[in-house]
Homo-oligomer: A and B are copies of this chain.
Amino acid sequence: MKKEELIISTALKLFVENGFHGTATSRIASESGVANGTLFNYFATKEILIVSIYNSIMKKMDDFIIEGIASNSVSKNAFKSLFVASLRWNLENPAAFQYMQQFNNSPFAKSAISKTLKQEEHPLYVLIKNGIDLVVLKPMPAALVFSLFNAQINGLYYYLLNNTIESERTDELTEDTFEMLWKMIQD
Interface residues of A (CB under 8 A from B): 17-22, 98, 101-102, 105-107, 138, 140-141, 143-144, 147-152, 154-156, 158-159, 162-163, 173, 176-177, 180-181, 183-185
Contact = CB atoms under 8 A, between A and B. Distances in A.
Secondary structure dominating the interface of A = helix
A52 to B, nearest CB: 18
A107 B148 contact: no
B107 A98 contact: no
- Top 9 nearest A-B pairs (CB, nearest first) are A21-B21, A151-B155, A184-B184, A148-B155, A147-B159, A101-B105, A151-B151, A102-B105, A180-B184
A19 B106 contact: yes
Given A19-B106, A106-B19, A156 B144 contact: yes
